[in-house]
């Protein structure tokens, strides 16, 4: 009988939550209590809202324990390992009985994330035991031609998961058709939006899947060298990639005559980027790899014709490459059975914001946004109302609640004014000010503008100035018209995707939440009560007991009144810090 396994989730999210301490604690208890089990590491399981996570697999099945601390793991080992008595109240997911969080996995279909949280990402043997490198071996053994590989990717319907949604097979064909003795294949792992959490988790949790996808892509297009462009802020991902590359070289999956294919020579190198959002655009990325400042270049020529070092180059993102081995092993029809007519397969999303179950999910294309938020994401915390979701990263758009039944596919999402992006999904509730959220995202894209285009460099700055003025209660009657005019000019005249999509948060919030802009500008009020300069704190006379707590704690002495007498707030002195509102025990202060 196999030994009981204790597996600790050691992705960046788990480590940040304290999982490394849990791992060390388990090691210590194994020695002091002489416990006999196999201690293993894995990466992000996706259930980030329950980190740290520890899975125990015994003769009865699998038990995933959540919110584990040092005290809890001591109790778990004492009862589950020593006495074979699982502590069901700590179990967040298992197939042995119902748990509240089981539904987090029920609607998921894991293809890109198939190994994440399942294997030790630093072990090539564990990857191989799960059909790892079987795809490239199949190509070698069955002598599958590059034309057949490209046709399989075309037939699968896989579109680039980095945001643009261009046909992956078509992209590969363009690169293949360009004749050159020197070609490159690049993995873009530097996208700087919330969806980049997905890229990082894939690289940390299943680096070999990305390598294998790149190897297959290199064979298909005839590439001689590969580059993974990864932001330096992902040290764990880079560490595990380096380990994976070395292991793959030792086993003959990288190097010369790969898996016995005569003349197929290919190696992969890592280029650490500085985390510039603009380097998510492929020509800016290429410039950075070449040692230049990351700035987009005019297209055409496209990278498939003239890319890295002016040679034919194919660029796909992390998630795209992770799908490739699965498609080759299981066939394009198995992949295309998921999704809609024009958007096949699955999509990974990073759920964040005002949502109960934050984390990483992979769902079939065609699922509704509402199902993702309420079935997988567990809905909105504290009984608040769902207001909107920002989809597609900082340059995505805000989709309102009444469009929550929009299905996840490229065309349907684009029709709302948002974009699929690389998978960021930020959920907002009724306390979110949509003018402020537009300002937040525009501030990011404005700071990340490379400055090459006047429209992007200057236009986003002027838009941000207007939004700052509106949220400070200084909005003018013409501001909405100015925002719309600037947004259209920036979209139409910017060189790259960053500038062309930067106005999306503003345009979509103007489209769906224009009343909030008007309230800020004309009534000088923030309906969500989130913009401090537009708030007014007033004391409710019939509720005030004269306890003096608010007056004593007011940092600018704006509150006056005798003990056991009704107090008053001087609106000219009040700095709107809200301290009185949070401290009052009698709910005697209203927020307007």
pLDDT average, residue stretch 170-195: 86
Q: Which CATH number fits domain 124-335: 3.40.470.10, 3.40.50.11540, 3.30.70.100, 2.60.40.10?
A: 3.40.50.11540
Q: Where in the chain is the domain with CATH 1.20.1440.230?
A: 434-523
Q: Looking at the domain 434-523, which fold is it?
A: de novo design (two linked rop proteins) (1.20.1440)
Q: Check pLDDT > 80 for residue 411.
A: yes
Q: Check pLDDT > 60 for residue 59.
A: yes
More confident call, 50 vs 497: 50
Q: Where in the chain is the domain with CATH 3.40.30.10?
A: 5-102
Share of the chain above pLDDT 90, in %: 86
Closest CA to 288 of 315, 261, 262: 315
Q: Record the tokens describing residue 152, joined without a space.
A: 């399989």
State residue 112's pLDDT score.
96
Q: Check pLDDT > 70 for residue 191.
A: no
The model's confidence at residue 106, banded by pLDDT at 50, 70 and 90, is: confident
* Strand locations in 78-164 (E): 91-93
State residue 420's pLDDT score.
87
Residues 6+ apart with CB under 8 A from 71: none
- How many angstroms separate the CA atoms of 98 and 461, rounded? 52
The model's confidence at residue 194, banded by pLDDT at 50, 70 and 90, is: very low
- How many angstroms separate the CA atoms of 79 and 432, rounded? 44
Mean pLDDT of the chain: 93
Q: Quick check: helix, strand or coil at residue 410? A: helix
**Beta-sheet pairing, 397-400 with 386-391:** antiparallel
Closest CA to 220 of 277, 173, 188: 173
Q: Check pLDDT > 90 for residue 308.
A: yes
pLDDT tens-digit map of 202-231: 999 999 999 999 999 999 999 999 999 998
The upper half-sphere exposure of residue 150, i.e. CA atoms within 13 Å in the direction of its Cβ, equals: 18
Q: Looking at the domain 535-591, which fold is it?
A: Alpha-Beta Plaits (3.30.70)
Q: Which CATH number fits domain 346-429: 3.10.20.600, 3.40.50.620, 3.40.50.300, 3.90.480.20?
A: 3.10.20.600
pLDDT tens-digit map of 550-580: 999 999 999 999 999 999 999 989 998 889 9
Q: Where in the chain is the domain with CATH 3.30.70.20?
A: 535-591
**Beta-sheet pairing, 267-273 with 225-231:** parallel
* 5-102 homologous superfamily: Glutaredoxin (3.40.30.10)
């Amino acid at each position: 009988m196999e030994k009981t396994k204790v597996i600790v989730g050691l992705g960046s999210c788990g480590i940040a939550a304290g999982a490394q301490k849990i791992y060390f604690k388990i090691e210590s208890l194994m020695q002091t209590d002489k416990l006999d089990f196999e201690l293993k590491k894995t990466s992000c399981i996706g259930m980030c809202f329950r980190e740290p996570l520890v899975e125990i697999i015994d003769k009865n099945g699998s038990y995933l324990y959540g919110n584990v601390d040092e005290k809890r793991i001591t109790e778990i080992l004492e009862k589950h390992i020593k006495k074979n008595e699982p502590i069901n109240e700590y179990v967040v997911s298992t197939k042995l009985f119902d748990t509240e969080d089981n539904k987090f996995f029920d609607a998921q279909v894991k293809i890109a994330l198939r190994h994440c949280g399942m294997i030790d990402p630093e072990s090539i043997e564990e990857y191989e035991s799960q059909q790892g490198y079987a795809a490239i071996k199949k190509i070698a053994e069955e002598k599958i031609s590059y034309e057949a590989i490209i046709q399989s990717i075309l037939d699968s319907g896989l579109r680039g998961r980095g945001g643009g949604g261009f046909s992956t097979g078509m992209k590969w064909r363009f690169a293949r058709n360009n004749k050159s003795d020197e070609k490159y294949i690049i993995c873009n792992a530097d996208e700087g939006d919330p969806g980049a959490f997905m890229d990082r988790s894939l690289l940390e949790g299943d680096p070999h899947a990305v390598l294998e996808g790149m190897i297959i892509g290199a064979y298909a297009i005839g590439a001689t060298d590969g580059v993974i462009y990864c932001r330096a802020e992902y040290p764990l991902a880079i560490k595990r990639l380096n380990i994976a590359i070395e292991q793959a070289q030792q086993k003959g999956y990288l190097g010369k005559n790969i898996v016995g294919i005569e003349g197929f020579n290919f190696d992969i190198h890592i280029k650490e980027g500085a985390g510039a959002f603009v380097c998510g655009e492929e020509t800016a990325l290429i410039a950075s790899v070449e040692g230049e400042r990351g700035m987009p270049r005019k297209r055409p020529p496209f990278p498939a014709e003239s890319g890295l070092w002016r040679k034919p180059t194919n660029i796909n993102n992390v998630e795209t490459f992770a799908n490739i081995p699965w498609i080759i092993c299981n066939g394009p029809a198995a992949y295309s059975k998921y999704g809609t007519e024009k958007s096949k397969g699955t999509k990974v999303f990073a759920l964040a914001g005002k949502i109960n179950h934050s984390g990483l999910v992979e769902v079939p294309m065609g699922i509704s946004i509402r199902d993702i938020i309420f079935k997988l994401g567990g809905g909105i915390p504290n009984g608040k109302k769902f207001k909107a979701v920002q989809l597609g990263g900082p340059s995505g758009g805000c989709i309102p609640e009444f469009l929550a039944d929009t299905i996840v596919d490229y065309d349907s999402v684009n029709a709302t004014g948002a974009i699929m992006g690389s998978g960021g999904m930020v959920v907002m509730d009724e306390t979110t000010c949509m003018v402020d959220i537009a300002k937040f995202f525009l501030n990011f894209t404005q700071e990340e503008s490379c400055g090459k285009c006047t429209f992007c460099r200057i236009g986003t700055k002027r838009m941000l100035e207007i939004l700052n003025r509106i949220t400070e209660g200084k909005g003018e009657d013409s501001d909405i018209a100015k925002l719309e005019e600037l947004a259209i000019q920036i979209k139409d005249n910017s060189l790259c995707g960053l500038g062309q999509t930067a106005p999306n948060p503003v345009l979509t919030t103007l489209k769906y939440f224009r009343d909030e802009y008007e309230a800020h500008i004309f009534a000088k009020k923030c309906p969500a009560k989130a913009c401090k300069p537009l708030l007014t704190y007033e004391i409710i006379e019939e509720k005030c007991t004269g306890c003096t707590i608010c007056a004593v704690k007011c940092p600018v002495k704006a509150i006056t009144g005798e003990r056991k007498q009704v107090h008053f707030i001087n609106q000219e002195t009040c700095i709107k810090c809200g301290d009185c509102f949070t401290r009052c025990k009698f709910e005697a202060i209203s927020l307007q």
